Structure 1
Amino acid sequence: MAPRALWKGQLRLSLVSIPVEIYSARNSGARVSFRQIHGPSGKPVRYQKTVEGVGPVDSADILKGYETDKGEYILLDPDEIDAIKLDTKKTLELVQFVESSEIAPIWFDRPYYVVPTDELAEDAYRVVRDALRKTRKCGLGQLTMRGREHLCAIRPCGDGLLMETLHYKEDLRAADPMFSGIADAASDDELLEVATQLIEKKTAPFDATAFEDHYASALQDLIDRKRRSRKTPRAKADDKDKGGEGENVVDLMDALKKSLKDSQGGARRKKAS
């Protein structure tokens, strides 16, 4: 099945707007997934929302509860939360550029492919890709998707562009409390030399195909063997259980030159003041 675009809009660099589509880079169907089955009846297990002393409840009666440090819940209606969700903006503007190596791995969340929507967008798309590659920079911006605003980094990836959502500062725990118990002492010189030589000896270009998920392979092998065996218990699955168009870039060179001129003019005005 062809992948479905999660977002369509404009990738903007100053006055240059590039129509793009964004796709998840993760293959969610690659791993084995299970349904819980009731052994005696062979029917799928369903989850029912219940309240102690009340029993099953209707979804329409469920509110969101924020627990405070006083041991009470601040109750919010789902409609109140929906009301503050952001409209999906159709523009991802690159507002800042940083060295690609400057962002530590801990900040990265999810990867997405950024693809030009048509041939007319490819020229501008390639210029942005090659400029990022030449400067070894990645572009930062914010993207609204599914009602939430995501901090994003854009950088070259093969022939295209990769977008990675980043965590906000509040999303991550401080590292200092975790590492504060480690003694601040220098490593033994001889041991450090041996460890360094071992690392150098085992250094090689990264190749993901050299690593295998042995658990996933063993699990798939188990399923295949069980499928071939007539002794394997089976349960019948019911059918009910199965579960923007943007502007064309007319004159890319003029737009880039005007963007650069405006940027330099703003810098001179600030200096003069």
Structure 2
Amino acid sequence: MSPRAQWKGYLQFGLVTCPVALYTATSTSERVSFHTINRATGNRVRREFIDSSTGKAVGREDQVKGYEVGKDDYVIFEPDEVAAVVPGSDKTLHLQAFVAYADIDDVYFDKPYYLAPSDRGSEEAFVLIRAGMQKKKAAAIARTVLFRRLRTLLIRPYDKGLIATTLNYDYEVRSADKAFEDVPDIKIKGEMLDLAKHIIATKSGTFDAQAFDDRYEAALTELIKAKIEGRKITVRKERKPEKVVDLMEALRQSAGVTGEKKRAPKRAASNASRPRKAG
């Protein structure tokens, strides 16, 4: 069964336009989910919107948007007033510019979507756009109205199609200055830096998403199974990681340098530094 498209429109490349569809690339629907239950009755709890002053439930038809201008003072907006500011849409992904993928800081990445042709007649134009981007190793910045908001997307080749990732606006990304302001300027060098580089080199590898399992999800599944079968649930206490007292010794042990052998791993001699054999 084909996935349901989240959005359908057009991809415009110069004077070339082709019909396309966006499909959600990630989903949390397969995760274990719980309902909130009344412990006393075993019944499911239902959420309601309650008036903060009267304590009475407010039906959906009586709910409107409000912007707070002072304490308990709100400007009220009717649904049609809010709808009036939604940008008009021609359902077109307008390619604004082509950039190197590495030029976009991934802190701006929001949500990825698969972008594919939406009908048979558009496949050749779609493949042309994808092939051109692959050849130039470029990504495209595009804009369109997506889910009631004007969004900026980064479009790049992926497998036989394209990936369109919505980008956060600049005002949505917090400055790193506050988060890092207490990090001191410390110069690391000598044996300590060599040990760190050695540990990184010995653990070098490639990323394989299938190699990383969701242990919490697996544990929840086992917990549910045990509960249904009436088995006893053992509640374990959380273990706190031990505090590192001697950073250098911890590095040595991580690198496998113990006992009397406490020197940093020697670097392999280059061909240029090796003595030549006599001819």
Counterparts in 2 of 1:72 and 1:175: CA distance versus 1, 3 Å: farther
Aligned to 2:198: 197
Aligned-partner Cα distance in 1 for 2:52–2:129? 57
Give the CA deviation at 1:230: 9.9
| 2:110 aligned residue | 109
The structure whose Rg is larger is 2
Which is richer in helix? 1
TM-score (norm 1): 0.77
Quote the offset at 1:71 in angstroms: 7.5
Aligned Cα root-mean-square deviation (Å): 2.3
In structure 1, the partner of 2:20 is: 20
For 2:200 and 2:64, locate their aligned partners in 1 and report how far apart those are by CA, in whole Å: 54
Other structure's SS at 1:133 match: helix
The C-alpha deviation readout for 1:17-45, integer Å capped at 9, x for no partner, is 11111100012322111111223333221
How far apart, in 1, do the equivalents of 2:83 and 2:52 lie? Answer: 28
Q: Establish whether residue 124 from structure 1 lines up as the match of residue 125 from structure 2.
A: yes
**Count of aligned pairs between the two proteins:** 232
CA gap 1:3/1:229 in 2 versus in 1, 3 angstroms: farther
Equivalent AA in structure 2 for residue 114 of structure 1: L
- Contact kept, 8 Å, 1:35 with 1:44, in 2: the verdict is yes
Misfit runs of 4+, over 4 Å: 68-72, 228-231
Q: Percent identity?
A: 37
Q: Distance in 2 between matches of 1:159 and 1:2?
A: 16
Question: In the alignment, is the contact (CA less than 8 A) between 1:88 and 1:146 conserved in 2?
Answer: no
C-alpha distance 206-230 of structure 1, shift in aligned 2 (>3 A): closer
Secondary structure of the residue that 1:37 maps to in structure 2?
coil
Q: CA deviation at 1:64?
A: 2.1
Corresponding letter in the other structure for 1:17: T
Separation in 2 of the partners of 1:61 and 1:71? 18
Please name the residue that 2:221 is paired with.
220
| Cα deviations by residue, 1:77-134 (Å, 9 ceiling, x for unpaired) | 3331122112443110111011101111111000100011233222221221122122
Per-residue Cα deviation, 1:197-219 (whole angstroms, up to 9, x for no partner): 22222121210111111000111
Which segment is superposed worse, 130-139 or 209-218?
130-139
Deviation for aligned residue 1:57: 2.2
Cα distance in 2 for partners of 1:134, 1:173 equals 35
Query: How far has the Cα of 1:68 moved from its partner?
Result: 4.3
Work out the CA distance in 2 between the residues paired with 1:100 and 1:12. Answer: 19
